[in-house]
Amino acid sequence: MSGWMDHLTIAPIVLPLLAGAVMMLIDERQRTLKAAIGMASALALLGLAVLALTVADAGAAGVRVYRLGSWPANFGIVLVLDRFAALMLVLTGILGVAALTFSLPRWQKAGAHFHPLFQFQLMGLNGAFLTGDLFNLFVFFEIMLAASYGLALHGSGLARVRAGLHYIAINLSASLLFLIGVSMIYGISGTLNMADLAGRVADLAAEDRGLLEAGAAILGLAFLIKAGMWPLGFWLPNTYSTLGSASAAIVSVLSKVGIYAVLRLWLLVFGDGAGESGGFGGMVLLVGGLLTVGFGSIAVLATQNTARLAGAIVLVSSGTLLAAIGAGRMSVTGGALFYLTSSVLAVAGFFLLIELVERGRGVGADVLAVTREAFGEGDDEDADDGGAGVAIPATMAILGIGFLSSALLLAGLPPLSGFLAKFAILSPLLAAGPEVAVTTWILLAALVLSGLATVVAMTRAGIDAFWASPAAEVPRVRVAEIAPVLLLLALNLALTVQAGPAMRYMEDTARSLHAPQDYTGAVLSGLPVAGGVR
């Protein structure tokens, strides 16, 4: 192992930080240069993430610990690269490249500082996935959120500012809950390191246990607000529907960060090794997840606006994941991870597709035109031709195929990976034994019905967009805009074809999450692994 490879763990954080910082120094008019730096950084991040995935997939030796300043784990901050973190890094990398490519023809011009914000968003996401320290997680959450506030408001406009106000107020309150939770956990256990905490939970005195669980519950509340669990997720469809689509594609992964944190911390701290606290709160996740699926399905059916439909679909996928995690079984968690991968890619693709489809109908284009006017960009170019790049032929056919595939993926219909993911969640639950629990049947019904609701709503939206408004002109779509959508769909197709190897990886990940000895062992071993003399 070369010395440089040791720094692989911190590279996904440092690289976008440097790229973003350099861009801040460059004049706002040098947009091409900024776009080039941003694109280079995003591509490099994807490369690093894939490399991290191969490194992490090496079994027990795959857990890489990076000790900042070479302090032992319980004194210093550690970054940990394992299978789960690597998977999320790859997803972030893919979405980063896709959303940035999409933004190049138009969205980057809709306001100031798009590119630096985008890099800081990537930095916050990568940091949140890599860190092994609770308070450091808070810091990366704030970086991620601060960047997402900027991206949420990118392009300005009345609707965006109004929804952004709610989004920021809710997330600031959630951050305060996060702090209360973290400090309670520190006050009781005396550590902020996740792996160290996992080891201490089992030995807690009986009178302290209640306080620790209360702290964990408050902390969980902060994560569940991000994930959008009912009744904490009413802000989500509203905010997501007003986001610009390039921002929405990357910000949509934020709800999955909440899921990531729940899955990571819950299984680590309240897993099998937690003594009396084992499985604490599992029922809340299961029931809350089911309620979220129910609420999301109703929202899916009720919305008329395609962008709000996408927001409602995010709620359904969050609910499905929470319910599957709440089941607390290793085999189900594997399916949930597969579902997570598939739905992150599909939802991001759908957010990008919406704007292209809506453009022909004038709604999204109006907003964009107004904002471009506000920033004085609209004068030098024809209003219909707002950007560079080559337009594609047979636009409606390609958009239609994209929409259809998205519908299949999001509703979980065969033959695409959405169906495989739902199957992977349900099959181990049903095969668990002769007695199938009531909650399993409810979960089965919820998954099937939410799929039905999605099909109905997507069909309606599709008819509306493609058939019912023939008067609308064919949107002018550039290659750089359709390519990311097709890339995300192709990745989902690849996930379908290569479901075997992908599922093997997910199952290994689930196994190491449910039995985190490798993780805790690697973090707590006193040997300096990186950043020091070897």
Partner 1 sequence: MELILSLGIGVLTGSGVWLLLRPRTFQVIVGLSLLSYAVNLFIFSTGGLRTGAAPILEGGRAGTLAMHADPVPQALVLTAIVIGFATTALFLVLLLAARGLTGTDHVDGKESGR
The site for partner 1 (CB under 8 A) is made up of 135, 139, 142, 145-146, 149, 153, 156, 158, 161-162, 164-166, 168-169, 172-173, 175-176, 179-180, 182-184, 186-187, 192
- Shortest Cβ 152–partner 1 spacing (Å): 10
Q: Which is nearer to partner 1, 135 or 423 (CB)?
A: 135
> Cβ 172 to partner 1, closest distance in Å?
5
Residue 157 or 428: the one with the smaller Cβ distance to partner 1 is 157
Closer to partner 1 by Cβ: residue 190 or 501:
190
Distance in Å, CB of 354 to partner 1, minimum: 24
CB of 349 to partner 1, least distance (A): 30
Given the complex with partner 1, which of 7 and 162 has the nearer CB atom? 162
140 versus 466: smaller Cβ distance to partner 1: 140
* Minimum distance of partner 1 from residue 269's CB (angstroms): 18
Instruction: Give whichever of 211 and 404 is closer to partner 1, judged by the CB atom.
Output: 211
Q: Measured from the CB atom, is 191 or 297 closer to partner 1?
A: 191
Sign of torsion, CA 494 496 498 501? positive
CB 163 within 8 A of CB 242: yes
CA atoms within 13 A on the CB side of 331: 9
Kindly state the tokens that stand for 278.
């084992």
By C-alpha distance, which of 291, 314, 187, 346 is closest to 240? 314
Minimum CB separation of residue 129 from partner 1 in Å reads 19
Continuous H helices in 245-329: 245-269, 282-302, 306-326
Question: Please, which residue, 182 or 506, has the CB nearer to partner 1?
Answer: 182
Query: Do residues 230 and 323 lie in contact, with contact meaning Cβ atoms separated by under 8 Å?
Result: no
Nearest distance from residue 193's CB to partner 1, in Å?
A: 11
Nearest distance from C-beta of residue 184 to partner 1, angstroms: 7
DSSP state of 474: P
Least distance in angstroms from the C-beta of 161 to partner 1: 5
Nearest Cα neighbor of 14 from 151, 171, 130, 107 is: 130
The CA–CA distances, whole Å, from 27 to 31, 113, 116, 121, 388 equal 8, 10, 12, 20, 21
Beta-carbon contacts of 298 under 8 Å, excluding residues fewer than 6 positions away, are 453
For partner 1, which is the closer residue by CB, 176 or 383?
Answer: 176
Q: Is 61 exposed, middle or buried (0-12, 13-18, 19+ CB in 10 A)?
A: exposed
Report the 10 Å Cβ neighbour count for 351.
33
* Residue 415 burial class via C-beta count within 10 angstroms: exposed 0-12, middle 13-18, buried 19 and up: exposed
- The SS3 of residue 462 is helix
Shortest Cβ 187–partner 1 spacing (Å): 3
Residue 190 CB burial class (10 angstroms; 0-12, 13-18, ≥19): exposed
Closest to partner 1 by CB, 177 or 495: 177
Structure tokens at 440: 């399993």
Q: Which is nearer to partner 1, 11 or 145 (CB)?
A: 145
Question: Least distance to partner 1 from the beta carbon of 257, Å?
Answer: 17
Across 57-149, the runs of DSSP E, i.e. the strands, are 64-67, 78-81
Q: Which two tokens stand for residue 402?
A: 């994209």
Q: Which residues are CB-neighbours of 322 under 8 A, at least 6 positions away?
A: 224, 227, 229, 259, 262, 285, 286, 288, 289, 292
Q: Which residue has the tokens 């921002």?
A: 247
